A and B are shown apart, each in its own frame.
Chain A
Amino acid sequence: MLTDALQATATGEPAAAVRRAPARRRRWHGWTTAIVLALPGLAVFGLFSWWPMIRSGIMAFQETNLIGGGSWVGLRNFAYVLHDPALPQAVRNTLWFALLGLVLGFPIPIALAVFISEQRGWRSTFSVLAYLPAVIPPVVAILLWRVFYDPSPEGALNALLRQVGLGPYSWLNSTSLAMPAVVMEVIWATAGSTTVVYLGALSRVGGELYEAAEIDGCGIWKRIWHVTLPQMRGFILVLLLLQLIGTLQVFTEPFLLTGGGPANSTTTVLMLIYNYAFVYGNFGAAAALSAMLMAVLTLVAALYLAATRRWSRS
């Protein structure tokens, strides 16, 4: 109330004092309306977001089926998961996927965005073109790439590579090539949308910084290195973290491209969770592994944020 009045005087609004009494009634009225209006949101978030998160913590320590409550089993679910011989392989595969995605996929959108932002008059054409793969439903893209990865010498990708004297490769049938092939599909499908995010960041870089750099005698490459990239640093750091968190949860692409094979070389942690729950019906083990994955992801995020905060302060 007081702040309202102060604000009113600050903005030179004379009617504040006159309107004080109805304002109080309005506020009370607004209070109940606010609850009623927020109700759909509270219900949906409560039921389908907050409660499942709490529940996953409970379930990890229970033996449960789909109906009714479970019985407490202490740490038995965790012991089961940790002794599963499939776990180390799934962890290795997931880390390998994340690393490949980072090394091969992370720089592409940055370079593309810097380039596109310089295309006066052509910017929207280039951004639409770059974003196009992100429009394809992932399932369609995955099934299409499965055809491209046909291991026969006539396969679409092998035929293309033969023109430059490479191959033929067995792609998804090879234990060493299957994961890089999955990563390539993912990069193709996601690079465009990340590029658009960077383009948004670039449009906020003030022209006067480039002006100043140019007056100081910086060439174009130096301007990119000393102005553009530092200005994008916040975005780069956060998108790096998001990509890391996203790739550690990869599921649909290896699930539909390879089904986890050959010889479990593309089975990821999330596929293991899926198998526990929906193939073996062991919901407790699935919840325990989910809890562990979430703990790891939270830890990664916390460490990362702490490290980058110190780094950006120094």
Chain B
Amino acid sequence: MNLVFELPQKIRDEIELTGGESIYYAVPIDIGAGGNWSTDSFCVVTTDKLYTFIDGEKISHEINELTKATAEAGVGGGMLVVKKGGEDVLVAHYSSAHMSRYAYIARGINILISGRYEKVESPEYEKMCPHCGRVIPGTKTCPHCSGNGGFFKILGKTIRPYKKDLAWISFLMVMVAVTTLLNPEVQKRLINDVLEKNGSLRTALVFLILMFTLSVAIVLINIGKSIATAKLGSKLSADLRRDLFEKCQRLPLSFINERRPGELLNRITDDTRFVAEFTSDVFCNLFAVFFIFIWDVFYMLVLDWKLALLTFTVVPPVTFFMLYLRKTISRVFRVQNKKNDDVASDLQDVISGMRIVKSYGKEEQEAERFKVLSGQFADIQKRNERFWGMFDFVLSFCMGLGVVIVVYFGGSEVIAEKMSYGELYQFIAYTLLLFQYVGWLGRLPRELSKLKSSLERIYDVLSQEAPEEDPGKVRDINIKGEITFDHATFGYKSYQPVIEDINAVIKPGEMIGIVGASGAGKSTLINLLMRLYETDDGSILVDGVDMKDISRKSYHSQLGVVLQETFLFSGTIIDNIRFSKPDASVDEIIHAAKLANAHTFISKLPDGYNTYVGEKGHTLSGGERQRIAIARAILTDPKILILDEATASLDTESEFMIQKALDRLTSNKTTFAIAHRLSTLKNADRIMVIDDHKIAEIGTHAELLAKKGIYYSLCAAQNLS
């Protein structure tokens, strides 16, 4: 994301840089003084000063007079606020378009305030292309502006491994073209040589057999071509899908989280499917159509150039009209689909909320609402069907019109004996071919740009650099379990730190209870410990070694995790437990299950450890799933154990039993346990209270009670309830 925009000369003239001062950031302010859109306002940060130029008015602040800068979020916009002399001062008002940009600017100003001169850079992508104003579909560069060379290069790279298939398909395409064009020629001969001139039955038969062979050949070649392209398409998309999936697994979680939910899924499924569809529907005809088209035009000119030119003037307007009709039709059907979605989602709402609807006695009301929606849908459908009914006739009428013109003028030529019957017939056949392929060619640009953005999106992921571990830098360690947080700071979004400046030293084998309100940053802290993300500032050390310097494999093999939302893969219970340690013996698995208090219920299931769970499998209760997850976590005998509300969905008795088991387990492991029910933390050596993204209190149960702070009131609240 650009943080240094090109400034207009007028503004540049007004900034007087003193020796050593330089412009660090320059970003637009898109809301002017009166709250109106503004195009010529800017916020400029130099190493010494903060300037704003709003609708021609210049304001400046010395950086060393400021104590803090914040990018505050409003609704549909935000503002940059600085603290000057203990008072908040509004610096700039901007729309959502610049929200994250200003978060970086605020961070940059704060760095300058602290006396450092590091420049902040934003890894985020621009949403709109600064050159063409189009939306960038989540890629680094604008697919439209990246130039055709880029697209063809990508296309070339994509299809290079399939040269053999391509050669075979190209050959078949040429054959299709040849046979298609030859057919009218033979038909002309039949008319001219046999029918008109009373030719012999034998010659007639020869022509008929030739026509028959050609027809069969067309069918056979087309079938061959379809099979070949379908094969190529599915091979191509399968390979792309595999590459994408592998890449996604290796990319950091932040890359996945930066994208909208489902967007990556779409890239893997929809975009690759489109590539396959394009290959089998469009690509397979591409050469054939071009080939036929060119020869078609050529033959028509040879047959009768005057009539051909006349026909060519009719074809474009008719084709244009046909394309327009098609566009309209896809438009109206899109409206219909949207209404259809509305009806479906409303229906789903009511059906899944049936208990609420019934218990409040609102059946009639809901039925009425649904009736209105359904009625609207029906109206649109009726209208569209009427339109659709006419569409085909209008289309063939248009094509017919073109043919009528050819027949009229061609007929006059035949009567004037300038043209033979057969030639006229051939000419009409070519005209029909022309209509067919001009329409097809008219749709081509659209398909090509769709392919282009699909490929761009696919290659955007594939070209991402996954952070590879440098084997020379990282090392394997045998974790003892000392964890040090050293000014650890992290946020998922640039403009919102979720944990700030965490400092603590956790002794090996210590159990730390983490408490705090929802959204305070507890789970985020855990995510950092799991190495799903890396700290933005500061570091986390394990046994005195920076976490980033420990190989992932070694670290994760010594980590056990039980999360709030237990995720079980589709598969059997034993597969799920074994996930953490694929070479675990059955004895180990049963032992882990017993420790997790899961063995009893598993053995009662008809299929025992072979019970199939997951999306389509046996439905387990929340507590049962949780226990399987606990078994999975303790199977590896981890040195660091992370329990994020691990026992929250259990009933009191199982919780008690698991707690007992966990107590024994956690004795020699560094354990981090998040819990809302404080009773589960009574064995914790120390309690860490996270409040407002920071450690508010840390100490033993008794210490914190004596402090009468947040923990004290939390305990009090739970004892009372």
Say if A and B assemble together: no
A-to-B contact residues, CB < 8 Å: none
